[in-house]
Every structure is written in C-alpha cells, then in structure tokens.
Structure 1
C-alpha cells in the first residue's frame, strides 16, 4: 500500500464536494460514509464554509436539558451538548438537591478583561512606566477609538496596569483593563492593543512584540453557593466522606485536576450548546486555580450548624451574549432562547451554578456508591449501540448489562447475540 501524503496541495481551494471526494479516495471512504458526511443537519453548508477552513461537514453532538435549576430566585432550563452519558443527569440531580434548600445564589463581579502588550528593549523599566502613566489619558483614548460601540455604552478601556517578568529586565508587560460589556471581547481587545502599540513604542523607545488579549480574567469572577441537605445526600456518613474528598481536592494537584474537570464538564457543555468559546473557559478556569499558589480546587465545601453542606464556587467566566458566531448557528440561537438570559453577567452566573451543581453531584457519587455505578449504567446504552443493537434491543441489552454487573463491550456483544437468536 502506498504511503499517504497529507500535503494536499490546493485543498483549501477546492469546493466542499471536491474535498469530500478527495477524502473518499485518500481515506477509502465507502458510499455510506460519504452520505453521512454530506448530511449537514440544521447548519447549512454555506454557513459552515464561512466559519472554518477546509470545511467538509458538521459534527453532531448529543444535546439535552438539565432541569431543576433555581438561581437567584429564578428558574432555568439549561441546554447542554456533550457526549458523556452521565453529565446531564448528574447536573440535574445536583440542582434538584440544591433546590430543596432554596437553590443557588450567584453574583458576577464585572466584565473587565485584560489586553496584554509585551514591550521589549527598554533601557529603564521605571522610566517607561512613568512615561506610560503620564500619557494614560491619551492611551485610553486611542484604545477606545477602536470601538465606538463600547464607548457609546459607557464601556471600553478603563485602566492601565503593569506586570513585570523575570526572564528579561528590559521587558515590561502592560495590561489594558477593558470593560467588554455583554461581549466576550476577544476581537475588540485585540484591536485595542494593536491600536495603542505604536504610541507606546514612540513614548518609551521600546519595541512591542506580543499584543493580544489574555484569556485569564481575574477581574471577571463569579461567586455562587448553595446548601445541600445532609438527608438528601445520604446522611452523616456520606457527608463526612464528602468533606474528606473536598479537602483532598483543595490540597492535592492530582485530585484537583480531576475535581475541576468535573466542574468544566457542566460549563463546557452549556457553552458548546450556545456556541460560546469553551476552550478559553477551560484555560481561564485552570489558570485561575493556580493564581494564588499551587493548583487547587475551584469549589469549597463546609458544614453549617445543621450538618448540611454549603458548597461554593469562585471561578472566572468570560462569555458574551452579543457578537461571535453563535448568531449564525440555528440550534445555538434556540438554546439561547431556552436559557432566556438578559445579559452576559446573568449567563456567567448561570454557568457558575451549573459548574457547582455538576461538581457537587460528582462528589456525592464518589462519597457514596462510587462514580462508576451511575456512569456505567448510562454508558450501557452506548455499548449496546456500539455492538449493533437497534430499536427495542438497545434498552434490552442495556438493562441486561446493568443486571449482569459486567458492563463492557464483550458482554454487550454476547447479550445481543443471544437476543438475536431468541435465547
């Protein structure tokens, strides 16, 4: 068999149809596989071609609704797009238990983001800082000229701060603090820092290298909490184990990484459903988890006087309800309508509560029956379909897998074979 060469010259110039045909030959795709690629779902080909390079098709991800959420006295249905079976069920269950004691309370602090400028080749850092601060008003004015929309809304560049680096004593990092309002703000931040860079070079004699937003937003923090009653969790013994597990996540990086991943299971699924940037949310959250020292938990749990668990989360969330590509994706627009939020701050509060609910549910399972029992029970349907079960046989195979206690693909195949033979 000849060695494949991935240097597909001119691939980007081809039409979508031509790219698919190229893949047919290159990857030996059959007619059924080609037909699946050509099925674009609710997002038409013309839109897809404008959103990504070398477009061939759209990728479907299962989407469901998390229920039971009460946040700041208001009820929400939460659309979530994710391939992991247990996430939506766990999130709904966490919200159900929080609802028993009044639901979630949340507060988003601000919509301030950082634009970061790397100024190099400076003779004297102190002198450069002084020159920059003396021109503070002009720098902010130049930055705000990049967005008349933000300026009209009373938003935009607000302040200048500095961040020193250790690798070179002639380098200064300038942080432009920008209020992005209801936008996530990536494009406008990048435009602002690019616009002010020539002026900074002129007044300091330095050379600007990087000029781009930072996805870490320590000024854009959401804090939320909820009470989870001990009787709904499983009683004092489960509560005790729960608190032990929570303390480990606060001190041990190996546990904290998995603990925080559970938080992002919920948040990412919502962001994907509404087509916000879940990659920046991941980077933002994990960086913040280490901002005060060793990497640790983004949530905290303690007991109240009644022995119930009070769970809280402190997490940076920077999302937008205007701009971006979400308005081009039909299902994303529907999901935004389902969420029914009025602005970015409300969305950020909802996301933090989803993260807390998801984390609590995982912690409760770990502290009681273990994470695999519920997860694998839901996963059994995936296994049934993976071995070829269809129709009613999917439920039958899944049910028999759970009863057998051996939830794996080999056993699923054996069970399906017996069903097909009428045994």
Structure 2
C-alpha cells in the first residue's frame, strides 16, 4: 500500500491531456482521475447538476421556474506562473475552449503565462451635490482622510478581521457643484459589492455633513481600475508554424498586422476585445462570478483614453518571438455569492485549484489572452471560420441524431464537403448506419 502511494505521488499532474477532445465525456472524466485532478468520489458530480436543484436555485434568484444549463468544458495546456492548470469554462459557443487550449500550448512553448495582479481593491462612490465650494470641500475631506477611513473600517469589522479594510479616500471634482468621493476598500477574496455598497450608504450622510452638500448616489463602481490584472506571454516563431503555413515569421507578422488594425479602428477593436472576453467570461461563468460587471469595466477601461482601443498588445520580442500582454480590470470572487451556494461553481473552483480571488483573476486573464491570440492567429492565416465550422459540424451531426463515434464521422464528412445542412447530416448518418449493418436497412 505504501508503494502505491509513492507511485501515485510520482505521477506528474499535467494540463496536456493528449487526444482529450476526441474522447467521450465519460472517458474524459476518467482521465481526470488518472491524472489526479479529481478523486473518484468527485468525478461523478461533474456528470450533471449534482446538488444543484430547484430549492438551491430558488434561494439564488427570484421567480424560479426551473434550471438552465450550459456546457462545462476544460481548456488544457495552461502553464500559469510556472504551474500546470486546468481552466474550467462554461460557454455555449463552439471553438472557444479549443481555441484557448491551442493558444495555451503555443504560449507554453515560450514559458507560459506570467501574471501580475493588483490588490483586491473595490471602490465605493458617494456623489455629493449642491457643493458650495468644491475646492474647500475637497480640501476638508482630504485633510480628514485618516479619520474617515477609520470610520469606514468601523462599518466593516468582519472584512477587517479577514485582513481587508479601507485603504484610501479620493475626491474627484465633476463640475462646479458636484464632487464624488471614492472610498477604496480591500475586500480580500470577495468581489466586494455588498461590502462597499454598505460603506457608501453608511458614510454618505457624514460626507455630506462635512461639506455642506447633499448626498446623491451611493454605490460601488464597476470600473475596477485599482484591481487590474496584467498577463504576458511569449510565443517562439517556430511554434507558429502550421501544416499549411510553414513560415512562422509570416504568421507572427500577420498577427501584428491584426493588432495594428485594432489599434487604428474602434470597430475592429470591439471585435478584438470580444475575443478576449470569450475566454474571460467563460471562466467567470464557470466559477460563478459577475461577468457582466467585468465586461462593463473592461470596455470602459478600453476607452479610457477617449478612443476605444484593444485590451491586448502584441509586439516582436528581442529574439524575434511574438510577445503579448493583456491589461484590464478584473474583479473576481471566491467568497460568498455563487461560490457559497452553487455546488457546480464549488467543483469548478476546486478542479482549477483556485486559491483565492486574485488567483481566479490570473486564470481568467490568462484565458482571455489565449483566446485573443488564437483568434488573431486564425484571422491572419486560414480565417476564423475553418476551426469554428469544424466544431459547428459536430453540433449539426448531433442534432441529426448521431452519437458516439458517428458524431466525428458525420462531422468529418460535413467539413470535407463544406456543407453543414442538417438534411445532409441525416443523409450521411443514414448511409453510415446502413454500412455498419452490412448494407441492411
């Protein structure tokens, strides 16, 4: 028994699970056990909504009438800060998980993803109206900042006990009679909306009294510019070579041209950034986070210069390699909300080995840079539709009634013929079934 434990410890846990996409969901789950990503006791829960029922749903949102599911998949090949990771993604669109896995493998050739995260600061806003002198009011608030921050801490003793708390007071002048006070709070592993909303409401009358103003709105901002993530990666030119594109330098330069297009044109930049959010959102949905807040903050951040720009930057490194960086606000949570109530979210966080909110932000950011790279690579080579339609063919095959190995057989024929009509899929399926039966109907 001791020898078996030693042998198990010697098995290297890897995110490179060769041929994973070709296997059945059942076999994929078995491989996760073999690779020690999950235990045999845990794997069965991945097969469905185990533990998530109408009672659980009814406690989460209002007017519940049933449950609605999304596919939960795993992006592979991720090496983040030197650690092999599996990345859970909940998404309905074909090709996103495959794209993330492919790009992660390319980035792994250059050492993987390197991530730097800001402290988990969430910001409360208090609007002050009818201010008699914005200059005097601002000076008063800034002079009393230490006192006011101590009052904020008194409102959130539980957050203080977890190591969080008030960090800074900022005052911004909006017009001749309007100020907004930002109360920056470290919310640890929480996204912090409820915490800072309570802070805003609890401090509003105090701030209004000190400035002789009238308190207006009291709520957090989802432009989490104190809570950004920077993800960088390097892809050697040799890794960009494909069967149909043997010149890695040409592929690299095509990606750089696509990047430049996004820098010049907001219409292209929006689609460029959608490619980033394909990865980020899928991770956040799988892990029960507020992807809508992150989306809003990301697009505001992209337009902070006054012109909407790409969230990523790709360039040539000193040795000719392709180098990229994603920089964006990314407020995440592993405490409270769905992480506390939704068993599927809990399983996704555990499978991804997420250690806390900043680690989740790092993983989501890496996924975002990966899906962006994959999209730019496809656009600058064979076009975006080739890979997308190959995966779409599998869905058409399944809709036509194919199952098991027949899905791949029918999908391959559809892709080869470049015909994706359901009626054609049914014809191919009928022919394959007849052949398996020895020509008998």
The answer for the alignment partner of 1:199 in structure 2 is: 206
The answer for the alignment partner of 1:107 in structure 2 is: 116
How big is each residue's C-alpha offset from its partner over 1:230-280, in whole Å with a ceiling of 9 and x where there is no partner? Answer: 122121221111110011112211111111111111111111111111111
Distance 1:268 1:362 in 2: 16
The answer for the alignment partner of 1:142 in structure 2 is: 151
Distance 1:178 1:411 in 2: 58
The answer for the alignment partner of 1:263 in structure 2 is: 276
Any unmatched runs of 5+ in structure 1? 1-38
Q: Using a 3 Å threshold, how does the CA distance of structure 1 residues 73 and 41 change in structure 2: closer, same or farther?
A: closer
Distance 2:62 2:161 in 1: 34
Shift of 1:418: 5.6
The answer for the alignment partner of 1:188 in structure 2 is: 195
Aligned pair partner of 2:299 in 286, 293, 305: 286
Matched-pair contact (CA < 8 Å) for 1:142–1:195: no
Describe the SS at the equivalent of 2:155: coil
The answer for the alignment partner of 1:88 in structure 2 is: 97
TM-score after normalising by structure 1: 0.86
Distance 1:400 1:228 in 2: 33
Aligned pair partner of 1:209 in 208, 213, 216: 216
Shift of 1:391: 4.9
Q: Using a 3 Å threshold, how does the CA distance of structure 1 residues 216 and 95 change in structure 2: closer, same or farther?
A: same
May I ask how many residue pairs the two structures share in their alignment?
383
Matched-pair contact (CA < 8 Å) for 2:142–2:171: no
The answer for the alignment partner of 1:24 in structure 2 is: none
Are 2:59 and 1:50 equivalent residues in the alignment? yes
Matched-pair contact (CA < 8 Å) for 2:397–2:425: yes
List aligned pairs for 1:280-359, cutoff 5 A.
Answer: 280-359=293-372
How big is each residue's C-alpha offset from its partner over 1:167-226, in whole Å with a ceiling of 9 and x where there is no partner? Answer: xx2111111111111211100000001000111122222111210000011111111211
Distance 1:331 1:294 in 2: 39
Matched-pair contact (CA < 8 Å) for 2:338–2:345: no
The answer for the alignment partner of 1:226 in structure 2 is: 233
Distance 2:421 2:321 in 1: 37
Matched-pair contact (CA < 8 Å) for 1:107–1:223: yes
TM-score after normalising by structure 2: 0.82
Matched-pair contact (CA < 8 Å) for 1:40–1:57: no
Task: Calculate the aligned-residue CA RMSD, in Å.
Answer: 1.9
The answer for the alignment partner of 2:74 in structure 1 is: 65
Distance 2:167 2:50 in 1: 43
Distance 2:328 2:143 in 1: 34
Distance 1:40 1:313 in 2: 34
Aligned pair partner of 2:254 in 231, 241, 249: 241
Distance 1:106 1:393 in 2: 42
Distance 1:408 1:121 in 2: 63
Are 2:138 and 1:129 equivalent residues in the alignment? yes
Are 2:122 and 1:117 equivalent residues in the alignment? no
Distance 2:309 2:266 in 1: 6
Shift of 1:91: 0.5
Shift of 1:410: 5.2
Distance 2:73 2:141 in 1: 51
Distance 1:154 1:393 in 2: 55
How big is each residue's C-alpha offset from its partner over 1:90-132, in whole Å with a ceiling of 9 and x where there is no partner? Answer: 1011110111121111110221221111111112211221232
How big is each residue's C-alpha offset from its partner over 1:304-337, in whole Å with a ceiling of 9 and x where there is no partner? Answer: 2332101111111111121222221111111111
